[in-house]
Amino acid sequence: MSIQPMLLWSDILLFVLIASIVGLMLWARRQEALRAAWGRVARNGVAMAAATVLAAFVLVGLLDSLHYRALLPAQPGATARYAVEVNSALDALLADLRLRAEKTYSAPLATHLFAREALENSTQREFPRLQFGGMHLGANLAGHEFDLALRLSRGVAGGLAVWLLLAAAVCRWRGMEFAALLRIGSGGNALAAVSVTLLAILLLLGVAISVGGGYHVFGTDKVGQDVLYLSLKSIRTGLLIGTLTTLVMLPLAVLLGILAGYVGGWVDDLIQYLYTTLSSIPGVLLIAAAVLMMQVVIDTHPDWFATSAERADARLLALCLILGMTSWTGVARLLRGETLKLRELEFVQAAQAFGVGRLAIMRRHILPNLMHIVLISLVMDFSGLVLAEAVLSYVGVGVDPTTISFGTMINTARMELAREPMVWWSLLAAFSFMFALVLAANLFADAVRDAFDPRSSA
């Protein structure tokens, strides 16, 4: 084989998570109450537009989780050997962006480096030409603006053509008019919201492919790497930190929060003491201490990891575990307070009077009435964890330095804001992708909360 497929632990966990979500969706279709609640979500245009954006991010993350090692050139009489470097399917798709590295900074869509340099056989300092950006123009840069406009038009036309083909297929399949796919006003529908959102995504994708074929769309960083490539590679790290950390934290927070609120007594006192003690420790210091101890373990056992990718993946999973074990207290406190109110309501007291056990009451009556809080807390924690990774990278306890993430991009770019002129594009690219991911997650969570809240009028 020309490649050797490779599974990292984070890849396995991500695929298990996706399979679990698919299984839960199939199970929910057989439950009338859940089917009705998710039906309300599916009819919400804002929610479905946000879900479309999230699906695009998840697709990029999944492509970046299909890892492999390339086959090295064969040596006479030697067995097949594979490269130490671990790449992904996304790396293969973005090979042009990954391999077209410049010398140092260059602005978006530029043809020259950002800083002046002393050229050979010259006493003046000039802006050197880029090795790849705009090199198809040759020595004559008079057609730079026309070339950009032409590539932009081609990208828009390509994205629009793909969308029209998909729209025609949907209209034929559902037997509906084409105009219905664009009717997103008061009389519109969720399908129209998905259609318009998908159109925007395809237009941006078409422009990125067309313009990125000859230029660096978001410029390059200090070592000349394409910022668009770094931004797309950071999506997987953000998704893993947000989802895996939340899944570590959520069961503990739900279990302890409901137990403290419903059982009360010494159980409540013990759980309150536990999360009050954890909350009294500065979060960054606790995380930093745990990450540094884990890093010592990794450094003292280099034989555990065959490649640098496995080493970076171990630190990423350790960070997710540590964040999860230190961030459950807020949700547990919130659920405890809500459980204290629910246990005094008539339907809970009626169940107690009929002799229903505590575990059954918590499972059948308490938990369903807390699901809207759990869901919104889950997504809000997801958003906060994606943003917190940047803070942790700033203090040096985030992901491994070799792992591409929004935090490492921001940490690398923060010192360049004091330059004159300022290097702003790395920070803007990371902020834009993080903003889109977090906003889509929050909008989708709002719709899910409204649909699952038993007290909602929907």
DSSP of 320-372: HHHHHHHS-HHHHHHHHHHHHHHTTSHHHHHHHHTT--HHHHIIIIITGGGHH
For residue 456, the model assigns a pLDDT of 57
Which residues are CB-contacts of 13 (< 8 A; sequence separation ≥ 6)? 240, 244, 317
In this predicted structure, what is the pLDDT of residue 123?
65
| The predicted structure's pLDDT at residue 151 | 92
Domain borders along the chain are: 232-452
Query: Minimal CA–CA distance to 69: which of 5, 156, 164, 134?
Result: 5
Cβ atoms 127, 107 nearer than 8 A: no
Q: For the CA atoms of 398, 399, 403, 405, what is the dihedral angle to 10 degrees?
A: -50
Count of Cβ atoms closer than 10 Å to residue 304 Cβ: 11
> Both ends of the chain: CA-CA distance in Å?
55
Distance, in Å, from the CA atom of 45 to the CA atom of 188, rounded to the nearest integer, reads 8
Q: How far is CA 434 from CA 146, 289, 417, 447, in A?
A: 32, 27, 19, 20
Helix (H) or strand (E) holding 294: helix 283-300
Taking the CB of residue 206, how many other CB atoms lie within 10 A of it?
A: 21
Residue (of 285, 382, 294) closest to 331 by Cα position:
382
- Classify domain 232-452 at the CATH topology level: MetI-like fold (1.10.3720)
Residue listed under structure tokens 């969720």: 190
* Average pLDDT, consecutive stretches of 10 residues, N- to C-terminus, the chain (458 residues): 82 86 82 80 87 93 89 73 84 89 87 78 75 82 86 93 89 77 62 88 93 89 89 90 83 89 87 86 77 80 78 84 82 88 85 84 83 76 76 74 83 75 86 89 84 61
Q: What tokens were used for 282?
A: 């500065």
Of 222, 208, 245, the residue nearest 60 (C-alpha): 208
294: Cβ contacts below 8 Å, ≥ 6 apart:
315, 318, 322
Please write down the HEC assignment for all residues of 242-281: HHHHHHHHHHHHHHHHHHHHHCCHHHHHHHHHHHHHHHHC
The pLDDT value recorded for residue 1 is: 63
Six-digit token string for 401: 């330095």
